[in-house]
């Protein structure tokens, strides 16, 4: 396993309150796999992604858990060692990657910053590597001297991928890499990411709210809800045989996916709970059509359903019924 996250807790201090943005999240990233971290806005995906690089907001605090990357716990590494890990071992493509390229400098200058300052390459080596990287992501090397605004959105995303690949990391974390792009360009970028990932044997964590992106490109999926992992497993098994009502509901919100409710778009009514004072039991219980009294009171354990597939639901033993009922529109309308 390249990365094992266990019981991760990250909070944000706002005044005298703590927002428990990630509250006991556990998941694994195998070597050479693309893992989708999926869930609706505010569930803590970006917080997890940033905790993994330890580039977190000033008011954020990692308060518990482990993130064992290649045998070392990121949470416990001194900042100096962590800094050595960034770009070289773990590269992060932030959510606003397309706009985060500095408009004042050419793309080559920005690649040089990573290659020379971080990687210690000579000017000549950096030039050669930049050309190689551009070829890898399908951009004509002659365009290295262009400024970010001279590239289209999709091309800028490719540049961001080239930048992430610069020092041959073992893991790339990409936060919503295709969200702002139209569907055709999305597919091209995802195809490219997949191709590079398999060529180079790296692992990718792809953060997205869009489960159809996960279905298109990921090997595994981790479904987050309100700061916790609801369900995790191999992509095909989790999408076709989800066992957590939230995953079933999420699938219904993307009607193109196989198994979605009557082929119609059915949103999950309501909103996620407060992360300042989350409900005591299952966090999805207030919106769950299958919730029992117990669900409102007791935090569900994570149940292993099959090899590498698990769900944190008191009723995961009744998964066949949950799937059958959960794929009916009516179930969600009357919740």
Ligand X SMILES: Nc1ncnc2c1ncn2[C@@H]1O[C@H](COP(=O)(O)OP(=O)(O)OP(=O)(O)O)[C@@H](O)[C@H]1O
Binding stretches for ligand X (CB under 6 A): 12, 14, 19, 21, 39, 41-47, 57, 59, 209, 275
Encode burial over 295-329: b for 16+ CB neighbours within 10 A, e otherwise.
Answer: beeebbebbebeeebbbbbbbbeebeebbebbbee
How many other C-beta atoms are found inside a 10 Å radius of the C-beta of residue 276?
12
CB closer to ligand X, 87 vs 225: 225
CB closer to ligand X, 61 vs 299: 61
Q: Give 9's strand partners.
A: 23, 64
CB closer to ligand X, 46 vs 252: 46
Question: Would you say 279 and 285 are in contact if contact means Cβ atoms under 8 Å apart?
Answer: yes
Least Å from the CB of residue 228 to ligand X: 12
CA 177 to chain centre: 10
Least Å from the CB of residue 60 to ligand X: 6
Distance CA 150, CA 170 (A): 30
Least Å from the CB of residue 20 to ligand X: 9
Least Å from the CB of residue 178 to ligand X: 13
Distance CA 29, CA 41 (A): 22
Dihedral sign, CA of 76, 82, 87, 93?
Answer: positive
CB closer to ligand X, 44 vs 319: 44
Least Å from the CB of residue 231 to ligand X: 16
CB closer to ligand X, 58 vs 79: 58
Distance CA 41, CA 207 (A): 11
CB closer to ligand X, 133 vs 221: 221
Non-local CB neighbours of 170 within 8 Å, separated by 6+ positions: 2, 31, 70, 89, 90, 202, 203
Least Å from the CB of residue 176 to ligand X: 7
């Amino acid at each position: 396993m390249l990365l094992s996250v266990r019981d991760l807790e990250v909070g944000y201090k706002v005044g005298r309150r703590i927002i428990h943005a990630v509250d006991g999240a556990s998941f694994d990233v195998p070597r050479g796999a693309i893992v989708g971290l999926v869930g609706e806005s505010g569930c803590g995906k970006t917080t997890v992604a940033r905790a993994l690089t330890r580039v977190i907001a000033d008011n954020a605090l990692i308060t518990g858990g482990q993130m064992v990357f290649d045998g070392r716990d990121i949470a416990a590494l001194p900042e100096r060692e962590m800094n050595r890990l960034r770009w070289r071992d773990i590269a992060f493509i932030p959510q606003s990657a397309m706009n985060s390229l500095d408009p004042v400098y050419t793309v080559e200058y920005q690649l040089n910053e990573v290659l020379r300052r971080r990687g210690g390459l000579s000017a000549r080596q950096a030039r050669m590597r930049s050309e190689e990287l551009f070829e890898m992501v399908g951009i004509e090397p002659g365009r290295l001297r262009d400024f970010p605004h001279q590239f289209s959105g999709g091309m800028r995303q490719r540049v961001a991928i080239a930048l992430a690949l610069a020092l041959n990391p073992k893991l790339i974390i990409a936060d919503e890499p295709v969200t702002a792009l139209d569907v055709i360009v999305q597919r091209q970028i995802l195809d490219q990411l997949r191709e590079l990932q398999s060529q180079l044997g790296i692992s990718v964590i792809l953060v997205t709210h869009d489960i159809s992106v996960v279905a298109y490109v990921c090997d595994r999926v981790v479904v987050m809800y309100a700061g916790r992992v609801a369900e995790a497993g191999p992509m095909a098994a989790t999408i076709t045989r989800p066992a957590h009502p939230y995953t079933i509901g999420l699938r219904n919100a993307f009607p193109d996916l196989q198994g979605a409710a009557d082929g119609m778009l059915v949103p999950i009514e309501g909103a996620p709970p407060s992360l300042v004072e989350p409900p005591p039991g299952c966090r999805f219980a207030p919106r769950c059509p299958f919730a029992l009294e117990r669900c409102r009171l007791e935090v569900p354990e994570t149940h292993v359903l099959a090899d590498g597939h698990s769900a944190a639901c008191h009723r995961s033993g009744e998964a066949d019924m949950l799937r059958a009922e959960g794929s009916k529109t009516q179930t969600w309308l009357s919740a």
